[in-house]
Amino acid sequence: MPQTEINSPVTGTVWKIERTIGDRVEEGDVIMILESMKMEIPIEATTAGTLQAISVEHQDSVNEDQLLCVVTS
């Protein structure tokens, strides 16, 4: 099964995690929201599938390109 890794586009903090591991997601669904430069950045599923892993927690600091979650399709 192909795994799609979703990385952070920015350096910032995890503001809200909207979905949980095992959830079915469609392409474009918001999985979590980051906060950076006073902006809310929705992290969307780039493919449809099952949310296999979430590698960050609420209020974590994240770096640009850091792995956020994995979708298995």
Partner 1 sequence: MSDSSTASTITADEIQDEVFPELAFRQAESKKMGGAQAIARQHAAGRMTIRERIEKLVDSNSFREIGTLAGTGSYDENNALVSVTPAPYVAGLAKIDGRPVALGGEDFTVRGGTTFGSSRRKGGQGGFIEDLAFHYRIPLVNLIDGAGGSVTSLKRRGHSVFPGVHGFERSVELLGQVPVVSAVLGTAAGGPAGRAILSHFSVMVNQSSQIFAAGPPVVKRSLGQVIDKNDLGGAKVAVDTAGTIHNCAASEADAIDQMRRFLSYMPSNVWELPPVVENTDPVDRCDPLLAGIVPEKRTQAYNMLRLVRLVCDKDSCFEIQPTYGKSVITLLARLGGRPVGIIANNPMVYGGAMDVHSARKQIHFMELCDTFHIPLVFFVDVPGFMVGLKAEQEGTLREGMRAVCVAGKLRVPTITVVIRKCYGMAGMATCNKNDIDLKLAWPSAEWGSLPVEGGVAAAFRKEIMSAPDPAVREKEIEAQLKPFASPYRTAEAFAVEEIIDPRQTRPVLCEFIALAEQRLRADLGLKPRYGVQP
Q: Residue numbers of the site for partner 1 (CB under 8 A)?
A: 9-10, 28, 36-42, 44
Report the largest interatomic distance among the alpha carbons of the chain, rounded to a whole angstrom: 37
Q: Taking a C-beta distance cutoff of 8 angstroms, is the pair 72, 3 a contact?
A: yes
Choose between 12 and 22: whose C-beta lies nearer to partner 1.
12
Shortest distance, position 65 Cβ to partner 1, whole Å: 8
Closest separation between CB of residue 37 and partner 1, Å?
5
CB of 62 to partner 1, least distance (A): 13
Among residues 21 and 28, whose Cβ is nearest to partner 1?
A: 28
- Neighbouring C-beta atoms of residue 53, cutoff 10 Å: 13
What CA–CA distance (Å, rounded) separates 61 from 12? 6
